[in-house]
Every structure is written in C-alpha cells, then in structure tokens.
Structure 1
Amino acid sequence: MADLDSVLFVEYGYDGKLPLALVEVAQDIGQEKPTGVIRELAKMANLPAFVALYTPATRANPASRAWHDIDRFRIKRVWPTPEPDWRTLSPGEWANALLQIRDWQLRRFVSRPASNDASY
C-alpha cells in the first residue's frame, strides 16, 4: 500500500547524517491523520516521531514567490508518549521546536560511547 498524500521527513544532524526524528507532513484539511506506519518506524528506529499538518497562507512564500507560504501547523507527537490532542504552532514556533528536538537528540547520542571504544 502507498501513502501518496503525505511526505515523511527525517530530521538529521549534518555531521555524520545521524537521524534524529521522523516527521510526517501533509496539508491540513481538517483530517485526523492515521499514524500507524510512522509510529512503527519510530519504534524500530528508537526515534521520536511527529505528524505536522500545514495550512497554506494566502500570501506567497518570500523565499520562493511561486509557492504559498505556510500560515500554521497542527502538530502531534506520535512516539514516544503519543499526544492525544493537536497543538497549533506558527511556522517559527515549529522551526524552534525542531531545533530543540535536534538538540535533545544530539545530546542523547553524543554522550553515548561508540560501539568499538573498547577495541580501539
């Protein structure tokens, strides 16, 4: 089965391409988004996972005028500790949340010794 109405993003650290979080993104049309697949991927990868539903703005995106800007996001964490309700965030608030998630995850992995430390 294919899911053609959404996109899965991997938030990662640039040094070493370390995966830090999974984010499923789709346009917000007032739907409740099923999260079974991304939740199972997150469990397997031991990464936090989120669904981000965006509402396009009427104005053009200042970085690329051919596209609409984003007015707001509805965000829900789906793993670990799934959230029962949606949070509404501005694009800036969601960007800051992603930076915080990256920081938490990078600290989690950086403090872990490499698997070959005992050998070398």
Structure 2
Amino acid sequence: MKPTIFEYTISVPGSAIDHMKHVNNVVYLQWVQDIAIKHWEAKTTERIRKQYVWVALDHFIEYKNPAFENDTITLQTWIHNNRGAKSERHTTIINTKTKKVLINAKTTWCLLHKETLRPTRITEEINILSTS
C-alpha cells in the first residue's frame, strides 16, 4: 500500500540562511521535526495528543541541493512503517519551482506515554490515523 503524503509549503526566511548564503543544515533538521509535528497534530485528536508524545531516536539526512532565501519549498512526510513503539518517518523537501529535491530524511521516532514517559506500543488507532 502506498503511504499517504502530508505536505506543507513555506517560503525560506532570511533567518534560515548561513554564511554560505543558503539554508543551514540545522534548519533542515528543524523543518523535518516541524513537519512531523504538523502531521501528528493534523491527524490525531486532542485526546490522543494529551496521552502520548514522540521522541526522536535518530535522524539520517541526505543533502541533495541548496535552498536560498525566499525560495518556496514543499515539505513532504509520511510514515514508512510502525512497529512496537517505533515509527519510521520519511521526509522529503523539494524546491517548489524547480522540483529539485533538497533533502531526503529518515527519522526513527518512539511513542511515549505522556504521563510516565515510558515507551508504549503504537495503538491501532494511531497507526490508522497516522498512515491515512
């Protein structure tokens, strides 16, 4: 089954630019986290968000092309798979005008029970909501 892609488009702000006049690598990581949060908030209920929280276990980012101030970029994310308490999320950031891929990222997230901060198995409800 093909995953459902969640998208968000932004204009690159001046604050994202580094001394080499393109988006700083750390900013891409922030955007990878930001789109994951937006996806989670768009797909889940307040009840679920009050009960669970995610923590990142690892990130792998492949930098392909630079982005510059005022470029319009599209962030795309999807769940590749969920197993136990872990979720593998993929993110691609694309220059909206040129269609060039700027980065590909893979992040492993762990679901925690918000009250105990202990890992907890991804429920069927969360699995369905996050992959649809």
The answer, yes or no, to whether TM exceeds 0.5 is no
Q: Which has the larger radius of gyration?
A: 1
Name the TM-score, length of structure 1 as normaliser: 0.31
Name the TM-score, length of structure 2 as normaliser: 0.29
Say which structure, 1 or 2, has more relative contact order (CA 8 Å, 6+ apart).
2
